[in-house]
Structure 1
Amino acid sequence: MGIKSSDWSDRRHPCHWEAESDDAGFWVPDRSELVTQFFTRYLFFSLAVIYFSTLESVRPVLFSIEQLLVALGVYFFINSWFFRQALQDVTLLKIRSAMSADLIIVTLCVIHDPNPIPPSALAFLMVLLGNGMRYGMRLFAEVLGGAFLGMAIAFAFRYRLGGFEVNAGDVFFGVFWVTLALYAYILMGHIEAQRRQLDYRSRFDTLTGLLNRHGLLAAADTIFDKTNAGTPATVLFADLNQFKAVNDRYGHGVGDRVLAEFAQIFNESAEMGVCGRWGGDEFVALLPQRDEAAIHQIFERIEARTEAWSASNGLPMAVSLGVSHAPRDGNDLMTLLSVADIHLYQSKSKQPESAVLSPFNRILIDEPKAS
């Protein structure tokens, strides 16, 4: 399997968010969440079997009690198949298919529930919360609409064919159910917004807007798991020269400005790369494989834009760059950064001081201290 372009360009949620487009996608649950979700389905299946098995009969609106139990058995096997598929891979089609199976079987149970106020209708809320709160707001809206439709169909059959009549208890139950479902949706919207905000803060550097170290490591896990001889990758490592001297002379406010400006230059110059701030004045880019000529062009572009910004703003900013390649130099980010760091200092050691430091940097270093 090759590395898809989204692996290099999805910088918001490189690990847990499965993006369909720039703004649409769904959260991918981990294995423990999947196991919990499907075993909850098995639990409610068991309760439904016990509930309807203890009844002497149900009103034959659509099915007899024996046919309804057969339908529950079919749901058991379908659910087991979805469970097996989900453990292999979670896709939007599989999620929607499992939710549809849940809604259909709950609708059938509500239709045949002999109680005037059917307790089985509460299972709609479990379908809503169990699916909607796990995958994100888009799927929450879909399952909410499906639950409303299922409730409407179920009660329409009950009143039309099952001989039930509308009473005050039905009205209260319906209002209560709708209110609770809408409240859950609104509450989940606030939780989802906070979730995205926390996810962003945990993965992104607030100063530069690039991935932070945690975000880079997560993105690297996704990328380097797929690298091999047929799909290699390139790591760029950048280190601002004498950045400490900038902070000492001009203050941290100016230093932050230098970091933010260089981050933009580095990000724009890397081309289709996952860029991040490793820490301090060190930056990293993860790229599809680039040959020596392409790397040279990227380095020249970064250096030229850095020098131009430094000259036009009267602020010191110069950079040293290194490179490594996966899987040739390693298969994990820490190893590849170590190799790139060695190349960076080898390159720096071969350059004259005038090439390593901008005139502004040399002023900062050579300027005698006031007595």
Structure 2
Amino acid sequence: MSASPNTAGEKTADHRRRRKADRRQDTERRAAPNTMRVPPWEEQRTQYLTRLLFCALGIAYFNLGGAAQTSAWVNLTVVNTVLLCYGAEILWFMRHAARRLDVRWRWHLTMWVDLLAASFAILADPAVISPGFLAYLMVILGNGMRYGLRLFAEAVVGSLMCASLVIGLRLFDYLDAISVSAAFFLLFFVIIVLYSYSLTANIEKGRRRLEAERDRDHLTGLLNRRALHERADHLLRDPATSRAPLVILFADLDRFKAVNDNHGHHVGDRVLAEIGRLIAGSVRDTDLVARYGGDEFLLILRDTNLAEVGVLAERLQQTLAEWSRRHDVDLSFSIGLGQYPDHGADLKTVIERVDQAMYRSKLARGGGGILQVGEAMPAGAAP
């Protein structure tokens, strides 16, 4: 943990600048309305399999039923070629999704390919009221329900643009075939889209509220233990992040029991809430921060290393010391540090070893120490 003053100062300044920039970028991203959620692999796989089903139905629609027909725009060979290429595109993106779940450009691109494929099918269909129009609705609902309102709105705008283009290209066909049933079909389509948007908005709000109530510690606003393990497991399962090291910081408040004994639990609760705020303000929004127990806090940090987190640990101790002086309480942090997978084959093992390192640090110094997993206790410290 030791370093020359200049080196430590440079590391601290660089660490603070990087974390401030990361925090600003993440805050801007969260402030954007209707942030997209990341569906698990099972949901994304279902969506790709549904696309394959519609592709197969499209090929059957144009090729079965006696004399296969198409509109004057294309012939059957072109239709089959385009639909087969669409199926190949689905398989490629499905394979890509199996390796990396959270790829926003893939979600957008696949949605627009869906819209173009549906538009092509409508142009190729000799029937004026084509089943392809229902594909627009499936694209809107499929993306909105899985990825949130932002992609829902994009799908609505894209569907209207594509439908307007198709209607414009086949305007004379539609003028010849205009009827009351066709007008009501379009009216019902618009009503269903608007109603679906309203339902999706309410579902999204309810989901976020339930997630907040389920995942957050009511006192500090930090993650609770169960939510921390869930999100950490997601990082380990995601192919994009599973191989990246994770640094674990376990912090325990020293002498917190005296605050409860001397001032009451209501004051102790306010102290915990304030310390939770101090910790959350010292890290990036991409870091996982949880109240792990009564006066224990656990941090899981990505894209960093033990040396940088050591600087963070020292800064947390300094921040708490300054806060304690201002509020006339005697508190400090005992901190243990470790890294996955260097200090354990699974995250549970690493957390246990980091907890042991924190406890050894508390015994060695009587509080206020920092100890890495496998690091020897300072000379002269209590065993």
Shorter chain as denominator, the TM-score bin is 0.7 to 0.9
Q: Does residue 178 of the first structure (1) align with residue 167 of the second (2)?
A: no
2:59 maps to 49
Instruction: Tell me the SS of whatever aligns to 1:27.
Output: coil
Following TM superposition, by how much is the alpha carbon of 1:149 offset from its aligned partner in structure 2, in angstroms?
1.7
CA distance in 1 between counterparts of 2:214 and 2:201 reads: 20
Which piece of structure 1 moves more, 42-51 or 140-149? 42-51
Deviations 1:241-278 (A, max 9, x none): 34344335533321210101122233344578542211
Q: Assess if the C-alpha contact under 8 Å between 2:334 and 2:358 holds in 1.
A: yes
Distance 1:235 1:40, change over 3 A: closer
The aligned counterpart of 1:39 is 49
TM-score between the two structures when normalised by the length of structure 1: 0.76
Equivalent residue, structure 2, for 1:275? 289
Give 1:289's match in structure 2, choosing from 288, 305, 319. Answer: 305
CA drift at 1:127: 1.7
Higher RCO structure (Cα 8 Å, ≥6 apart) = 1
Residue 21 (structure 1) aligns with: 29
Distance of 2:114 and 2:283 partners within structure 1: 47
Query: Match for residue 136 of structure 1?
Result: 148
Counterpart residue number, 1:214:
226
Q: 1:191 to 1:55 in 2, by over 3 A?
A: farther
Does residue 360 of structure 2 align to residue 336 of structure 1? no
Match of 1:247 among 232, 256, 260: 260
Matched, 1:198 2:210: yes
SS at match of 1:286: strand
Q: Tell me if 1:84 matches 2:95.
A: yes
Q: Give CA-to-partner distance per residue, 1:111-146, whole Å, 9 cap, x none.
A: 343445333322221121122221222211111111
Moved more, 168-177 or 304-313: 304-313
Q: Output the aligned Cα RMSD.
A: 3.5
Question: What's 1:310 paired with?
Answer: 324
Residue 335 (structure 2) aligns with: 321
Normalised by the size of structure 2, how large is the TM-score?
0.74
8 A contact 1:239–1:319 mirrored in 2: yes
* Secondary structure of 1:291 counterpart: helix
| 2:377 match | none
Q: Which amino acid aligns with 2:344?
A: G
CA distance in 2, matches of 1:105, 1:95: 15
User: What SS does the corresponding residue of 2:259 show, helix, strand or coil?
Assistant: helix
Identical pairs, percent: 35
Secondary structure of 2:177's aligned partner: coil
Report the equivalent of 1:189.
201
AA at the equivalent of 2:172: R
Residues 1:103 and 2:115 aligned together: yes
Q: Matched residues in 2 for 1:162 and 1:66: separation?
A: 25
Q: What code does the residue aligned with 1:290 have? A: L
1:347 equivalenced with 2:361 (yes/no)? yes
In structure 2, how many angstroms separate the alpha carbons of the residues matched to 1:40 and 1:234?
39
Is 2:336–2:356's contact at 8 Å kept on the other side of the alignment? yes
Q: Which residue number corresponds to residue 84 of structure 2?
A: 73
- Give CA deviations for 1:206-247 in whole Å, capped at 9, x if unaligned: 32122221333244446678688xx75543222123434433
Unaligned runs of 5+ in 1: 14-18, 357-371
Distance in 2 (CA, whole Å) between partners of 1:30 and 1:110 is 32
1:115–1:310 distance in 2 versus 1, CA, 3 Å: same
Which sits farther off after the overlay, 47-56 or 19-28?
19-28
Are the aligned partners of 2:121 and 2:132 in contact in 1 as well (CA < 8 Å)? yes
Match of 2:6 in 1: none
Distance 1:218 1:173 in 2: 45
Check 1:305–1:33 CA distance in 2 against 1; reply closer, same or farther (3 A cut): closer
| Cα contact 2:167–2:174 (8 A) shared by 1 | no
The answer to whether the 8 A contact 2:55-2:83 is kept is: yes
CA 1:73–1:162 in 2, change beyond 3 Å: closer, same or farther?
farther
Tell me the equivalent position of 1:362: none
Q: Is the 8 A contact 1:306 1:317 kept in 2?
A: yes
Q: Say yes or no: does 1:113 pair with 2:121.
A: no
Could you list the per-position Cα deviations for residues 83-132 of structure 1 after superposition, in whole angstroms to 9, with x for gaps in the alignment? 33332334223222322222122222223434453333222211211222
User: Which of 140, 154, 161 pairs up with 2:166?
Assistant: 154
* Equivalent position of 1:262 in the other structure: 275
SS in 1 for 2:336: strand
165-174 or 247-256, which deviates more: 247-256
Question: In 2, Cα distance between the equivalents of 1:108 and 1:282?
Answer: 59
Q: How many pairs are equivalent? A: 339
Q: Is the 8 A contact 1:202 1:214 kept in 2?
A: no
Match of 1:30 in 2: 40
Q: Secondary structure at the match of 2:36?
A: strand
Matching residue within 250, 261, 266 for 1:237: 250
> How big is the shift at 1:314?
4.3
- Judging changes above 3 Å, is the alpha-carbon distance between structure 1 residues 270 and 162 closer, same or farther for their aligned structure 2 residues? closer
What CA distance in whole angstroms lies between the structure 2 residues aligned with 1:78 and 1:301? 50
SS of the residue corresponding to residue 235 of structure 1 reads: strand
Alpha-carbon contact 1:60-1:162 (below 8 Å) kept: no
In structure 2, relative to structure 1, the CA distance for the partners of 1:259 and 1:172 (3 Å cut) is same
